[in-house]
Each structure stands twice: as structure tokens, then as C-alpha cells.
């Protein structure tokens, strides 16, 4: 009996051990509170300045080599477009990494324009949910994506709290995730601001070190408290994002999700992930113990009746 059990235990231990190897690095990665790289860049978006000229959309289109749009970039009728029975405004997709939408504030007044694109989280959910590590948070602050290893499970899209990554569903042979990469390849890595920032006439988009931008954001709110609501969106949301927003209108009226957690999305999975090594370590001994207890005495008898002896 013991022979069989030892073998069995070893087999379990080997498989368990192998999976432990696989499971353990998880802990290292999920070490808490990564506040972003110190030299990480960011963009401060001052929503009070945007006039909805859509130049950023055009600049992005050219910089990223995206296909021709359906409508010209100076066509403002896109602001009236709605989708899914009028519930949704335009969003990013495989042909547009950034999109400007118009909102009418509840208390009246001039419309507010809001540009959406990847917010380049400090601890991105897309990155931590990707099982082939296709995403990288670069030191410059960009969240970039390696289409060469992407399997196409689209978990990143499920995980992104801002619903940014889009998938090239139309492609049969090489469908990949498409999203804003902070112009990493062509600009950011060479110390230049992204194309949208550069084209923006109003400096709605201020490019700089994220830590400086935070100061600037709070400074603008402090010096003009009448103008701004006291919240820098992206400072704390899901662990902080490289793109920060200040606004005169409450964020929830502009389609921002203000119910987001403070912790990075990965924190939610940590409860489970932290149990993985424990299960791997405890289960073999526990269940072998149960096995021994519940089959004690029966084993010998069974052995003698065993069928495979005759065969073996």
C-alpha cells in the first residue's frame, strides 16, 4: 500500500510543485502599491479648455497610420451620434484610438467636450490580466502592447475599467488589440509629446512629468476654486493613471466612472491569487491524509482482490 501511496504522493507533489513554480511569481508581481515610475510622463486634461475642434483625433489618425475616417475630422455632426438606442456616445475602436464627445451640463451653460483615450494606468488592469504579458508599462509611463504574442482572449478588454482597448474583430488572420499607446514608438520614447498634445490649440492637454502635472492640476484648482470642482480624476482612480483630468462640471455628468476603486484592479484578484500557493502546498498532504484515514484497513483486502495483478 505504502508503495502505491508514496508514488501517488510523489506524482501529486511533482505536478503540484510544477504548478507552484508557475503560481509563485504572481506574488512577486502583485506586491502592493506601485505608484508609477518616478520619471513617468503624463498628460493633464483641462476639460474647461476644450472647444471640441477634434484636431487631436486627426493628429492621432495620421500619427498612428489609421484608416480614413467615415466623416472628416472637422465635421462636428459626430457629436450628435449615439449608439445602442441612444445610450452610448462614440467610443474608441480599432480605427480610432481617441475620440472627443460632447456633453451638455445638467446646470446648463456651454457644452463640455471630453477626449477619451487610454489613460495609461500606473498599474494597468489590461497588463495584469494578460496571460501572455503582451502589455508593458514603460518607464516613460506608456502602456504599450505587443501584438506578436497576443492570443486574442480579450481579457484585457474585460478588465479595463475605462473600456478602452478595442479589438480588430473584422480581421480573420491577424486580429489584434488596438488602443492608444501614448505615441510611444514614434514620439514618447524619443522625448516628444504625443501627437494629440502637440496639435491641441488650447493646451487642453498639458504634457509633462506626472508628478509635476499633479501639482499643476491642484494648483489650477487652488487658484481658481470657482472654476474647477475639487477633484483630479486619475490621481487616485484604480491606483492612478498617467492621464489626469480636471473639470468645471462633475465628472459623472461627463461620462466618467466615478465609482472606480482607489486600488489597482489587480488588488481584487489578489485574494484569490494569494490562496493559490496555499492550495498547492496544503492540498496534497491534506487529501493524502484523508485517503489514508478513509482507506485504512481496507487497502490490503482490496489489493488482494485487485484486478490488474492478474493482468500485469
Partner 1 sequence: MVRNWIWVIVSVLAMIFTSPGMSRSGDTRMPSLVVIDALSHLFDAAEFDHDLHLDFAESCSECHHHTTGTDVTDGRCLPCHDGSEALDTVACGKCHVAQPFSAEYLRKRQVEGSFYHIDKPGLKAAYHLNCLQCHMEMGGPEGCQDCHTRNETGEAFYYSGRFMPAGKQSGDGH
Partner 2 sequence: MKGLLENGYRPIDSLQKSPGGRRWTFTEKMLLGLSPREYLNQVLRNPLNWVFAAVFAVGVPLILYRYLFGLGAVTHSSNDYPWGLFLGFGLFVMVPLSASGFLLGTTVELFGRKDFKPIERLALLNGLLGYFFAVVYLMVDLGQPWRLPYPMFVSWGTAAVLFLVGWHVATYLSVQIMEVSESFFEWVNWPNARAYIKRITIGLTVAGIILSTLHQGALGALFTYAPGKVHPLWYSENYLWIFYFCSSVFAGLCMVIVVSTVVKRTMAWRCDRNFLDNLDRITLGLAKGASMALVTYLVIKLIGIAHDNEWAYLATGWGRWFLLELLLGVITPIILFSVAIRRNMVGLIRFTAFLTVLGIVLNRLNTALIAFNWNLYQEIPHLFEAMISVTLFCVYLVTYRFILYRLPVLYAWQSVPDEVYAVELERGLIPGQELVPAPAYQRIEDSP
State the residues that interact with partner 1 by CB under 8 A. 49, 51, 53, 55, 58-59, 62, 68-77, 191-193, 197-198, 200-203, 206-209, 212, 215-216, 219-220, 223
Residue among 53 and 100 whose Cβ is closer to partner 1: 53
What Cα–Cα distance (Å) separates residue 141 from each residue in 181, 188, 283, 312?
Answer: 10, 9, 41, 63
Residue with cell 483630479: 232
The one of partner 2, partner 1, none whose footprint includes residue 200, by CB under 5 to 8 A per kind, is: partner 1
Taking the least distance from each CB to partner 1, the nearer of 35 and 75 is: 75
Minimal distance, residue 237 CB to partner 2, in Å: 11
Nearest CA to 239 out of 6, 24, 26, 35 is that of: 35
**How do strand 99-103 and strand 243-246 relate by DSSP bridges?**
unpaired
CB of residue 208 to partner 1, shortest distance in Å: 6
165 near 124, Cβ under 8 Å?
no
Q: Residue 226 or residue 271: which is nearer to partner 1 going by CB?
A: 226
Which of partner 2, partner 1, none lies near 291, with the C-beta cut-off 5 to 8 A by kind? Answer: partner 2
Q: Are 139 and 130 in contact (CB under 8 A)?
A: no
Q: Which is nearer to partner 1, 23 or 208 (CB)?
A: 208
What is the smallest separation between the CB atom of 39 and partner 2, expressed in angstroms? 23
Rounded CA-CA distance 297/198 in Å is 80
Beta bridge partners of 136: 144
Residues 55 and 249: their CA atoms lie apart, in Å, by 23
Name which of partner 1, partner 2, none residue 2 binds, using a CB cut-off of 5 to 8 Å depending on partner kind.
none
As measured in angstroms, the least distance from the Cβ of 13 to partner 2 is 8
Amino acid at each position: 500500500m505504502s508503495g502505491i501511496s508514496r508514488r501517488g504522493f510523489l506524482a501529486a507533489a511533482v505536478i503540484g510543485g510544477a504548478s507552484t513554480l508557475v503560481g509563485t511569481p504572481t506574488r512577486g508581481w502583485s506586491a502592493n502599491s506601485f505608484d508609477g515610475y518616478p520619471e513617468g510622463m503624463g498628460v493633464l486634461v483641462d476639460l474647461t479648455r476644450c472647444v471640441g475642434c477634434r484636431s487631436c483625433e486627426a493628429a492621432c489618425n495620421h500619427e498612428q497610420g489609421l484608416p480614413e475616417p467615415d466623416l472628416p475630422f472637422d465635421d462636428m455632426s459626430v457629436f450628435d451620434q449615439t449608439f445602442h438606442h441612444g445610450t452610448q456616445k462614440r467610443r474608441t475602436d480599432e480605427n480610432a484610438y481617441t475620440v472627443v464627445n460632447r456633453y451638455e451640463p445638467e446646470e446648463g451653460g456651454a457644452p463640455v467636450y471630453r477626449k477619451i483615450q487610454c489613460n495609461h494606468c500606473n498599474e494597468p488592469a489590461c497588463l495584469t490580466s494578460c496571460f501572455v504579458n503582451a502589455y508593458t508599462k514603460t518607464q516613460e509611463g506608456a502602456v504599450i502592447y505587443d501584438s506578436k504574442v497576443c492570443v486574442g482572449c480579450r481579457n484585457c478588454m474585460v478588465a479595463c475599467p475605462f473600456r478602452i482597448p478595442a479589438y480588430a474583430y473584422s480581421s480573420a488572420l491577424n486580429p489584434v488589440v488596438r488602443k492608444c499607446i501614448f505615441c510611444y514608438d514614434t514620439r514618447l520614447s524619443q522625448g516628444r509629446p504625443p501627437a494629440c498634445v502637440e496639435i491641441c490649440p488650447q493646451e487642453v492637454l498639458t504634457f509633462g512629468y506626472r508628478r509635476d502635472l499633479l501639482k499643476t492640476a491642484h494648483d489650477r484648482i487652488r487658484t481658481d476654486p470657482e472654476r474647477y470642482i475639487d477633484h483630479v480624476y486619475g490621481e487616485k482612480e484604480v491606483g492612478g493613471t498617467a492621464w489626469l483630468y480636471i473639470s468645471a462640471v462633475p465628472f459623472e455628468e461627463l461620462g466618467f466612472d466615478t465609482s472606480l476603486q482607489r486600488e489597482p484592479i489587480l488588488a481584487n484578484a489578489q485574494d484569490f491569487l494569494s490562496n493559490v500557493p496555499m492550495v498547492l502546498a496544503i492540498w496534497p498532504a491534506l487529501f493524502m491524509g484523508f485517503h489514508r484515514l478513509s482507506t485504512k484497513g481496507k487497502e490490503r483486502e482490496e489489493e488482494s482482490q485487485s484486478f490488474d495483478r492478474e493482468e500485469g
